[in-house]
Amino acid sequence: MIKLIAIDLDGTLLDDNKQISPLNKETIKELVAKGIKIIIASGRPYFRIKPILKELALDNDQNYVIAYNGGSISLGDGSKIVYAKWLKNKDIKKIVSYLSKTKACFNLYSADEIYTERLNQRIAKFKVYDGINFIIKPNLELALFAMANKIILADDEAKVDEVKNSLPRSLKRKYNIVRSTPNFLEFLPAKVSKGRAIAIFSKWQKIKKAEIMVIGDEENDLSMFKVASVKIAMANANDELKKQASFVTKTNNEDGVALAIKKFI
């Protein structure tokens, strides 16, 4: 019996307009009423997830949310962070030093603020960035940052491919570097992932792997597949996710989340 469902947001629960369909919303509310735990697992910071939690009535201290691709687990109302793992100053310097040499655009997330030296103007118009006020600093004073939640290379797909394919071993060994969209390559602490966060949470809740279902669409969701028995990939998911899925549902524009839930629960 499934007791916990972890759901990604962008490309999964949210459609291309960053909205939750009425059917997806109603299905989730039905599950909560039945006592099944729903945990949103996103690469977004908490403040970018909060409006969605409110829409789903999950913004309270009885529910939890995974943000920053597993970098934090918070109560649904944001009143308490119960688990967190960040990049330290020495990590920030190492990653930013490398990315600066690539001439790619990147963003640094720290304490619910997003800093950048420069923006790719095409990427900045993506709906996922709606409402975000970037703090633009032509030369980031890295000594000012004691920590960062994550650092994202945010650029054209070809540039992301180029950087990912030429990453030095020293970075790949020390950090979890994962793609969250074709245009985003995320740099996280080595042991940070959505899957690890779900494993930590399920241990607290005494929920077994056989009782976990996960739903996602991108490379950063692969870690969730390792800790669940029912693994759902969206029809719009990348090929590797589809290969490892228990079931490929419809797209994020076709109520794919609700369809998968109704099939397995």
pLDDT at 123 over 70: yes
Claim to verify: residue 183 and residue 91 sit in the same structural domain: yes
Q: What would the pLDDT profile of 4-41 be if each residue is shown by its tens digit?
A: 999 999 999 999 999 999 999 999 999 999 999 999 99
Cα–Cα distance, 228 to 15 (Å, whole number)? 24
Beta bridge partners of 150: 109
> Phi and psi dihedrals of 94, rounded to 5?
-65, -45
Mean of all residue pLDDT scores within the chain: 95
Pair of tokens at residue 137 = 């600093």
pTM: 0.95
Determine if residue 78 is left, alpha or beta; phi over 0 gives left, psi from -120 to 50 gives alpha, anything else beta.
left
Claim to verify: residue 145 and residue 64 sit in the same structural domain: no
Greater confidence (127 vs 183) lies with: 183
Q: Which residues contact 222 (CB under 8 A, 6 or more apart)?
A: 195, 216, 240, 241, 244
- Boundary-marking domain end, from 131, 157, 189: 189
Cα–Cα distance, 154 to 181 (Å, whole number)? 9
pLDDT at 72 over 70: yes
Q: What would the pLDDT profile of 94-116 be if each residue is shown by its tens digit?
A: 999 999 999 999 999 998 899 99
Cα–Cα distance, 60 to 56 (Å, whole number)? 11
> Phi and psi dihedrals of 74, rounded to 5?
-125, 160
Claim to verify: residue 131 and residue 184 sit in the same structural domain: yes
Count of structural domains, the chain: 2
- The domain in which residue 49 lies consists of 4-84+192-264
Q: Which residues contact 94 (CB under 8 A, 6 or more apart)?
A: 171, 174
Claim to verify: residue 159 and residue 65 sit in the same structural domain: no
Stretch (H or E) spanning 6: strand 4-7
Q: What's the length of the chain?
A: 265
CATH number at residue 179: 3.30.1240.10
Pair of tokens at residue 171 = 């970075």
